[in-house]
Amino acid sequence: MEKDALLQCHEKIRPYIHRTPVMTSRLLNELSGAELFFKCENLQRMGAFKMRGAMHAILNLSPDQQQRGVVTHSSGNFAQAIALAAASLGLPAYIVMPSNAPTVKKSAVEAYGGKITECTPTIQAREATASQIQQETGATFLHPFDDHDVILGQGTAALELLEDFPDLDYLLAPVGGGGLISGTALAAHFFGKNCQTIGAEPFAVDDAYRSLQSGKIETNTTTETIADGLKTNLGEKTFPLIQQYVQKIIRVEESEIVTAMRLIWERMKIVVEPSGAVPFAAILRAHPFFEKKKVGLILSGGNVDLTRLPF
C-alpha cells in the first residue's frame, strides 16, 4: 500500500535529510491572491529535494549491493544527491555526466566524493556509459526519477508540508522527469484533505502537458529553457502516476520564470533555481484559479550558477 510505503520511507530517510522549513510571504500572497506555503527544498542537503529519493533508493539496497556502490547518470542535482547520499553511508558512487553539465554541479559532485565519467550530451551516451560502468564495477544503477523508491523519497517533501499544513487546497510542483510531481501527488492523495496536485512546466519543454493530452509519453524537440532541471521526458513509472493523480499542468513562459525567480530572491531572501520558481510562475499566470485558496509549492532546489544569473 503506497500510503504505508510513504510513511515507512519517511521514517527510513529521516536521520539523513533536513526537515526543510515552510516559508510564507505576505507580499507574494497579495500578488497571487492566494495563501502560499513554500516548502523550501532549496535548503535541503545538497540544495535540492533529490537528496530524499537518492537516500531512500540507496538505503533499500542489500548490504552486498551497497558495498559495490551505485551508478547513475545526471546533469546536475541527482548526481549531487547520489554522491552525497553514498558518501553519508561510506559507499562508492559513479556518476555519468554530460560534457555540457554546469561546472558548478560537476564541482559539487566531486566535493561529495562522486567519481565522474563524462560523456557526449545525449541520453543514449549517458545510458551506454552508465551500463559500461555497471559491468566493470558491479555497482547498482539507480535511475534519476523512474524508480519506485526514488518517487517515494521525493514524495516525503509534500508529506512533511501536509503534516504542517493539512488543509491545503492545492499542491504545486515542477515537472521534469516526473519523480517529484508523482511523489507529491501520492502524498496529496493519501494525506491531503481533497488536496489536488497541479504540475508546472515551461512552454519550451511542455512534454508532460502534451503527454497528458495524447495519453502517451511525448518528447521535446528543443531544450531551450532556463529551467535546466526540467528538460527530461517522463518515465514509464512516473507517467501513469501523473495520469492518475495529477489534475492538470500549467505552462509558463521563460520571462514568467525569471520574474517569479526574482520575486522569490528579492522578497523572501532565499536562493531558488529557475526550475524551483516555475510553480510560483504558474500561480502568477493562473492567479484567478487560485484566488483565496491555500496553496503549497515545492521550491525544488537552489543550485544556481551565480555567474549566470538571468537578472
Residue 196 and residue 252 share a domain: yes
Residue 279 and residue 135 share a domain: no
**Mean model confidence pLDDT for the chain:** 96
Residue 206 and residue 58 share a domain: no
Burial of 27 (0-12, 13-18, 19+ CB in 10 A): exposed
Number of domains in the chain: 2
- For residue 249, the cross-strand partners are 199
User: Is the pLDDT reported for residue 305 higher than 90?
Assistant: no
pLDDT band at 122 (very low <50, low <70, confident <90, very high): confident
Q: Which of 107, 125, 141 represents a domain boundary (last residue)?
A: 141
Tell me the chain's radius of gyration from C-alpha atoms: 18
Residue 203 and residue 124 share a domain: no
Stretch among 10-19, 89-98, 218-227, 279-288 having the lowest mean pLDDT = 218-227
Burial of 2 (0-12, 13-18, 19+ CB in 10 A): middle
Output 231 or 209, whichever has higher pLDDT: 209
User: Is the pLDDT reported for residue 102 higher than 80?
Assistant: no
Going by DSSP bridges, is the β-strand pair 140-141/170-174 parallel, antiparallel, or unpaired?
unpaired
Q: Which of 113, 141, 169 represents a domain boundary (last residue)?
A: 141
Per-residue pLDDT, 76: 80
Contact 296, 168 (CB under 8 A): yes
Per-residue pLDDT, 121: 84
pLDDT, tens digit, 9 for 90 and up, residues 41-57: 999 999 999 999 999 99
Residue 290 and residue 186 share a domain: yes
Single-letter amino acid code for the residue at 103:
T
Residue 178 and residue 82 share a domain: no
Per-residue pLDDT, 69: 97
Per-residue pLDDT, 21: 98
Q: Which of 91, 123, 141 represents a domain boundary (last residue)?
A: 141
Q: What b/e string do you get for 179-208 counting C-beta neighbours within 10 Å, with b at 16 or more?
A: bbbbbbbbbbbbbbeebbbbbbbbebbbbb
Going by DSSP bridges, is the β-strand pair 22-23/35-40 parallel, antiparallel, or unpaired?
antiparallel
pLDDT band at 213 (very low <50, low <70, confident <90, very high): very high
Cβ neighbours of residue 67 closer than 8 Å, sequence gap 6 or more: 91
User: Is the pLDDT reported for residue 7 higher than 80?
Assistant: yes
Per-residue pLDDT, 223: 82
DSSP line for the chain:
-HHHHHHHHHHHHGGGS----EE--HHHHHHHTSEEEEEEGGGSGGGBTHHHHHHHHHHTS-HHHHHH-EEEE-SSHHHHHHHHHHHHTT--EEEEEETTS-HHHHHHHHHTT-EEEEE-SSHHHHHHHHHHHHHHH-PEE--SSSSHHHHHHHHHHHHHHHHH-TT-SEEEEE-SSSHHHHHHHHHHHHHSSSPEEEEEEEGGG-HHHHHHHHSS----S----S-GGG-SPP-TTHHHHHHHHEEEEEEE-HHHHHHHHHHHHHHH-----HHHHHHHHHHHHTHHHHTT-EEEEEE-B----GGG---
The CATH number of residue 241's host domain is: 3.40.50.1100
Q: What mean pLDDT is predicted for residues 221-230?
A: 89
User: Is the pLDDT reported for residue 98 higher than 80?
Assistant: yes
Residue 108 and residue 173 share a domain: no
Residue 223 and residue 190 share a domain: yes
Distance (Å, rounded) from C-alpha 148 to C-alpha 183?
9
Query: Domain span at residue 297?
Result: 2-48+147-308
Distance (Å, rounded) from C-alpha 271 to C-alpha 125?
32
Distance (Å, rounded) from C-alpha 111 to C-alpha 248?
39
Q: What mean pLDDT is predicted for residues 227-249?
A: 95
Per-residue pLDDT, 221: 85
Q: What mean pLDDT is predicted for residues 243-270?
A: 98
Residue 263 and residue 127 share a domain: no
Quote the Cα angle for 277-280-281, to 5°.
Answer: 85
Per-residue pLDDT, 75: 79
pLDDT band at 73 (very low <50, low <70, confident <90, very high): very high
Residue 299 and residue 250 share a domain: yes
Residue 166 and residue 86 share a domain: no
Residue 105 and residue 245 share a domain: no
Q: What mean pLDDT is predicted for residues 211-227?
A: 93
Per-residue pLDDT, 9: 98
